[in-house]
Amino acid sequence: MAPCLNVLYSLLTLYNLCYNSIVKRLVKTLIILAIVVGIGLWGYFAVRNRDININKWFVGNYQKGVDVSSYQENVDFKKLKEQHIDFAYIKATEGNSHVDKSFNEKWAAAKEAGVLAGAYHYFVYNNSGASQAENFVKTIGDLDGSLIPAVDMELTPEEVQNPPEKDAVVRGLKAFLAVVEEKYGVKPLIYAQKDYFDKYLADDFASYPRWIRNVFYPVFIDVGEEWTVWQYCDRGMLEGYSGEKYIDLNAVNSKTGLDSLKVQ
């Protein structure tokens, strides 16, 4: 009887050792999994809330620039140039009558500092496309040696809830572009997010250079190399301006290059 008890005791001991080992491995695995999931969730919300910007790891040696408006006051373009800013898009107009109050000052200052400058127009859907273009070209004048003009196509929070009809957007933008192209002999840069391009622009404006906004992750994930300028950060912080705390940061596709965006 004693040998049987000894065998049973040995088996129970072995079982306990194996069970404890399995439990330990399981607990260890669960702890590691919880840590990985926790880090992943933290990273997701940090990127979504733009507490961190992963795009800066992917812009590499791209030529970099800013886009500014009256929200950035007293811009010192020489100081920006010292921080490796090669170009700037400056808001000129909005709708069929508004002119950005700081455009002329910024336009002259950028040129004086040797920073390549381009002008952009903020498109308003309930204004005539042609009249908006007339406001734009009247304000910016001659563009020889400057960057090609740009038009900002986006939706306000109210317009997201009640978006404009695609046909109306296409008609208005075509009218705007026709006037600008006639004046300068170049296709303007169209700024938008990818989902906006897909919804409104893909069918009629695929041949236009694209200024894609994606401040959350690298632009090539969405569009491959089908982009000219990438707004990769909307919470940049540089020295050389006052007013708004943040400044938008952009990069030019190295396959395009900044020189190819100059108006000749």
Task: Say whether pTM exceeds 0.75.
Answer: yes
Q: Write the CATH number for 253.
A: 3.20.20.80
**Per-residue confidence (pLDDT) for residue 2, from 0 to 100:** 62
Q: Residue 242's domain spans which residues? A: 55-261
| Euclidean distance between CA atoms 25 and 249, whole angstroms | 47
**Per-residue confidence (pLDDT) for residue 15, from 0 to 100:** 63
| Length of the chain in terms of residues written | 264
Low-confidence ranges of the chain (pLDDT < 70): 1-52
- 120 phi and psi, to 5 degrees? -130, 155
Does residue 84 share a domain with residue 30?
no
* Residue that finishes a domain, picked among 14, 33, 52: 52
User: How would you class 127 by CB atoms within 10 Å of its CB: exposed for 0-12, middle for 13-18, buried for 19 or more?
Assistant: middle
Contact (Cβ atoms closer than 8 angstroms) between residue 241 and residue 68: yes
Upper half-sphere CA count for residue 76 (Cβ side, 13 Å): 9
**Per-residue confidence (pLDDT) for residue 264, from 0 to 100:** 81
Buried b (16+ CB within 10 A) or exposed e, 23-40: eeeeeeeeeeeeeeeeee
Does residue 134 share a domain with residue 59?
yes
